[in-house]
Amino acid sequence: MDELRRIEINTPTLARVEGEGALELAITGDRIESLRLRIFEPPRYFEKFLEGREYTEVPDITARICGICPVAYQMSAVAALEQIHNVTPSPWVRAMRRVMYCGEWLQSHALHIHLLALPDFLGFGDALTMGKAHPEVLGRGLKLQSLGNELIRLLGGRSVHPVGVRVGGFHGAPDAATAAAIADNLETALDDATELVNWIATIEVPDVTKDVVTVSLRCPDEYPMTGERIIASDGLDISVDEFEQHFREEHIPHSTALHAYYHDRSYLVGPLARLNLNLDRLSPRSRELLDHTGIPFPSHNMYHSMLARALEIHVALEEAVRLLREYEPPDRSWTAHEPCAGTGYGATEAPRGLLWHRYETGSDGLVRKATIVPPTSQNQARIEEDIAGTLVALGLDLPAEQLRFEAERVIRNYDPCISCATHFLRLDLNRQ
């Protein structure tokens, strides 16, 4: 008789990011009978919170959605609201928004690589234990992460839930001396980023490839952080406002988090998708660094996401230095406008992938409806399929603890904005 094993992996409530989740896995012999990544934290209703609020409040409210990537939520929101109000941000505003986004990529990618991902591949149970054996590694990661926070604070007033962003631009502008000093610090960190990329490329990762559709923004002449076009590896090329014609969200009984689908199939967003689709948008220096690793891209191995994050740290540092070296305080840090009715769409590339917003406002400036599609919900179906494919490839006859570890590693590799991104604490195993 085939052996039936049900493995339930639970996460704690108090973890890196608020939320709760569990993985339920049922195996019969050499087959996976069912696999469910359950997200059962209570819905937060941010979209409903926004209804009836002044559109000017939206950037500060959406910044509270995620403590790790508040800039992404602000930037997607202001892009949509500026479309409604016919606001064209000045070149200074566009440049500084990109600088602020560089800060978010820096702090988020550095945190994920050094505190969450590396312990999985270096054989440590947590980052603190790893730090005792490799203090220089953890120190480098914390240095990069702090530089990202410094960049966010430069324009946002503070690094957590920043308040400097407004529709039309920023509430204020830093002085030239402060911007120049931060540029100096960032430039010295480029060597750290180069070493990080080269070192991560040497770390052995499972050779598990997947045939998956990848999706990201696309820009005419730069690596995408903000943008007006969405592309996919199967040839899709649409404007941001066409998103709902090709992508849909639906409720899944085992999760309070929505699952998103592209033409009724799962898809991938995030650093690996961005890099695969935008190799030709890398600067010569970043492209040379990637080529030097000897790992061919585009890559269909999800475990190369860590290398993609490391390269994007280099991209963010290089880009922020370039923009801050050209910095001059503006006469005015925002574009004036009047409230009006309309519908607007905005999308940016959060550290974890494409983040899409849609808003409807009235002539009184109040929000009538808000729709927010975060990257974690877009990756949710892909994560479940990736766990299944990885476990089958590695062997379902592995010991229960090994199955649990491999499933956890897959989940953490996506860096989802739920507590599943941290280490799980309990494994329940029933055999019959």
Second-level CATH architecture of 46-378: Orthogonal Bundle (1.10)
Distance CA 286, CA 295 (A): 14
User: What is the pLDDT, as a whole number, of residue 34?
Assistant: 85
User: What is the pLDDT, as a whole number, of residue 5?
Assistant: 47
Strand partners, 6: 26, 430
For residue 416, whether the previous peptide bond is cis, meaning omega lies within 30 degrees of 0, is no
Q: Is 360 helix (H, G, I), strand (E, B) or coil?
A: strand
Distance CA 293, CA 308 (A): 12
Write down the pTM of the prediction. 0.91
**What are 332-373's pLDDT values in tens digits?**
999 999 999 999 999 999 999 999 999 999 999 999 999 999
| Cβ-contact 352, 375 below 8 angstroms | yes
Average pLDDT, the chain: 88
Domain definitions of the chain by residue range: 46-378
Nearest-CA neighbor of 266 among 385, 352, 410, 407? Answer: 385
Structure tokens at 407: 């499933």
Q: How many CB atoms lie within 10 A of CB 213?
A: 16
Main-chain phi, psi angles of 91, to 5 degrees: -55, -35
Separate counts of helices (H) and strands (E) for the chain: 15, 14
Distance CA 413, CA 424 (A): 14
Distance CA 358, CA 343 (A): 7
Q: Is 410 helix (H, G, I), strand (E, B) or coil?
A: helix
Q: How many CB atoms lie within 10 A of CB 405?
A: 17
Q: What is the largest CA-CA distance in the chain?
A: 77
Place of tokens 């939520």: 73
**What are 144-193's pLDDT values in tens digits?**
999 999 999 999 999 888 999 999 999 999 999 999 999 999 999 999 99
Distance CA 319, CA 17 (A): 28
